[in-house]
Chain A
Amino acid sequence: MAAGGAALGVIPVGARAERLLSLPGWQVRIAAPEPVAAPLAATLSAIAVAEPLPPLEVSVSEDGRQAAGTAEGRLLWSVALPRSGWLPLLVGQVGATATALLRRLLFIHAGAVAVEGRAWVIIGESGTGKTSTVALLTRHGAAYLTDEITLLDPAAGTALPFPLPMAVKPWTAEAVGPLPEGSEVANEGSVRFYLPADRGAGPTSIRAFVLLRPGGRPELRPLSRAEVLMALGQHHSSLRYPHRLEDAFAGFSRLLRGARCYTLTAPSPAAAAELLTAAARAS
């Protein structure tokens, strides 16, 4: 059966395919109907994880309605796939799995770019414009590290690339305008998965953590490290996993001591990106 159009909300099914992705640091096996396996594999294909992770098996039922993730013989998750938006959901599940499997590195739900060789980590709730801000920064010359999952090495004080493609939603496209140079690797529902060409290649020393708060007049102002640590407790980060709680607390403390901390308010992602670009070039 052929894949249906996203506007009709049809889940693609068809001949089953097995894809084995031998990514740097992680092996992901996908067993799914081909119209699911192909875009999922394409979307995951640029991932590199600096810490070796246990292999993950992603299986999707023949009717394309259920998906499950298994690692080390354990069922980690099982989700019902919606008729539209199944690819962002699957990509999100795989990304979340990576963060749950980490043993040494930490993660924050944050975007990150490298400007002149130093990483800027942009923390914000979903919908605050992280992806748009990262896309604009990348278009203006920053190297893309991630728009969603920032991996951090507390021992080295570095951010590491986790280059899932940017998930460009309609409002992202509207806010950003022309995307940075790169390529669309898949699209489904209303989301385009877009991989910028200029990507950070390895560990990048962290310059700053930025709490993104949409609205208000454009302002980038210093924030205490304690405030940022408290904010991390409210965001999705390694602090959410009970088995990582203590080492995440120690690790984030160490990372914050070596970085600058800011809060950024801006009426638009463009204004946010402009402020960050100026600050990064001045620092």
Chain B
Amino acid sequence: MSTSFLATELDGEVVLLDVPEARLIQVDAWSRQAWEACEGRTTEEVAAVLRAPAKRVREALQALAGTGLVSEDQGRWLRAALRWV
């Protein structure tokens, strides 16, 4: 996936710059955990890693997918690459 996102961490909170869309995205702590755990996993596998309900994980990942931060391919989640600043 392309690196269209810049990321910065401020006091444990993450803010992303979506460069092509010229928009900032604030990622809350829970969404960040889901994002970090999702690479190559199914929703159920992520839920197992996070010990969280699958419904909650799916909602978080779908919200992230709406911004382009993750995508789903054959039931497995893929993370967009970030450039940290």
Q: Which residues of A contact B (CB under 8 A)?
A: 224-227, 229-230, 233, 239, 242, 245-246, 249-250, 253-254, 256-257
Contact = CB atoms under 8 A, between A and B. Distances in A.
Interface string B21-54: 0111010000000000000000000000000000
B2 to A, nearest CB: 14
Contact of A257 (B10, B19, B26): B10
Contacts, number: 45
Nearest to B23: A233
A254 B8 CA distance: 9
Main secondary structure of the interface of A (DSSP, over half): helix
A233 B21 CA distance: 13
Contacts of B8: 229, 249-250, 253
A155 B85 CA distance: 13
> For chain B, which range describes its interface: under 10, 10 to 19, 20 to 34, or 35 or more residues?
10 to 19
Given A226-B14, A229-B15, A253 B23 contact: no
B22 A245 contact: yes
A225 B11 contact: yes
B13 interface: yes
Interface of B: 6, 8, 10-11, 13-15, 17, 19, 22-24, 26, 85
- The 4 A-B pairs at the shortest CB distance, nearest first, are namely A226-B13, A225-B10, A253-B8, A250-B85
B11 A224 contact: yes
Q: Which of A224, A246, A253, A254 has the most CB of B within 10 A?
A: A253
Main secondary structure of the interface of B (DSSP, over half): strand
Contacts of A253: 8, 10, 15, 85
Contacts of A254: 85
A249 B11 contact: no
Contacts of B13: 224-226
A230 B11 contact: no
A229 B85 contact: no
A93 to B, nearest CB: 23
B10 A249 contact: no
B43 to A, nearest CB: 27
Contacts of B6: 246, 249-250
A16 to B, nearest CB: 41
A124 B23 CA distance: 20
21 contacts: A224-B11, A224-B13, A225-B10, A225-B13, A226-B11, A226-B14, A229-B8, A229-B15, A229-B24, A233-B24, A239-B24, A245-B17, A245-B19, A245-B22, A246-B6, A246-B17, A246-B19, A249-B8, A250-B6, A250-B85, A257-B10
